[in-house]
Amino acid sequence: MGIEKVQTAGRRLSLLMRGLMVVLVTSAVVQALLIGCLLRTFTEYGLFSAAERAVRLLLWAMICRRAAELFQTAGQGEPFVSKNVGRLRRIALCFVGMGFLPGLAGKLAALGAPDKPLLSIDSFLWAALIYGLSEIFRYGCALQKLDEETL
Partner 1 sequence: MDQRLNWIKKSSGVMYLLTWLVELVLVYGFFTAAVSLFLALARTPEWESALVVTLGLEGIGWSPGSMSPALVALAVAILVDGAVRLLLFGSALLIFRNLSDGGSPFSPTNTAHLHRIALLVALTACTDGLPGLLSGWSGLEGIAAPLLMGAALYGLAEIFAYGRLLQQQADETL
Contact 136, 80 (CB under 8 A): no
Nearer to partner 1, 48 or 126 (CB): 126
Distances (CA, A) of 130 to 72, 89, 117, 127, 144: 18, 7, 23, 5, 20
Residue 134 binds partner 1, judged by CB under 8 A: no
Binding letters toward partner 1, positions 57-96, x by CB under 8 A: ---x---x--x---x--x----xx----------------
- Minimum distance from residue 51 beta carbon to partner 1 (Å): 15
- Minimum distance from residue 37 beta carbon to partner 1 (Å): 20
Among 29, 30, 33, 129, binds partner 1 (CB under 8 A): 129
Residue 133 binds partner 1, judged by CB under 8 A: yes
Q: What DSSP line would sit under 46-68, residue for residue?
A: HHHHHHHHHHHHHHHHHHHHHHH
Site for partner 1 in 18-57 (CB under 8 A): 20, 56
Nearest to 109 by CA among 66, 50, 47, 25: 47
